[in-house]
């Protein structure tokens, strides 16, 4: 008998790697990179604060110790969120 899981687990987000350039965030089967240049709120944060991330809904992430709220789409497409990203394109 095969067990089929339906839906999306919105409770688990995991930081998988932190480098001097940014960090990788695993959301279900999707891994996203948050560059410190595009997301400067994390640049001087401790690893403990960066890894304390909540995923309350499929479209929203929250870092309670940093008081940072981000739309998942702002990570996928930072160029569409000019208040988040000041990157030259």
Residue 11 has pLDDT above 50, yes or no: yes
pTM: predicted TM-score of the whole model, two decimal places:
0.78
Tens-digit pLDDT profile for residues 43-82 = 999 999 999 999 999 999 999 999 999 999 999 998 888 7
What totals of helices (H) and strands (E) does the chain contain, helices first?
Answer: 2, 6
**Residue 63, SS3 per DSSP:** strand
Rounded Cα distance between 6 and 32, Å, is: 23
Tens-digit pLDDT profile for residues 17-53 = 999 999 999 999 999 999 999 999 999 999 999 999 9
Rounded Cα distance between 24 and 48, Å, is: 14
All structural domains of the chain, each given as residue ranges with its CATH number in brackets, are 13-80 (3.30.2020)
pLDDT value at position 46?
A: 97
Specify whether the CB–CB gap between 16 and 31 falls below 8 A.
yes
């Amino acid at each position: 008998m095969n067990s089929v899981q339906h839906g999306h687990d919105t409770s688990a987000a995991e930081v998988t790697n932190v480098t001097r350039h940014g960090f990788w965030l695993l959301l279900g089967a999707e891994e996203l990179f948050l560059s410190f240049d595009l997301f400067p709120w994390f640049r001087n944060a401790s690893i403990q604060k960066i890894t304390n991330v909540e995923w309350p809904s499929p479209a929203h992430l929250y870092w309670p110790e940093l008081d940072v709220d981000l739309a998942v789409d702002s990570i996928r497409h930072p160029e569409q969120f000019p208040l988040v990203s000041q990157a030259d394109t």
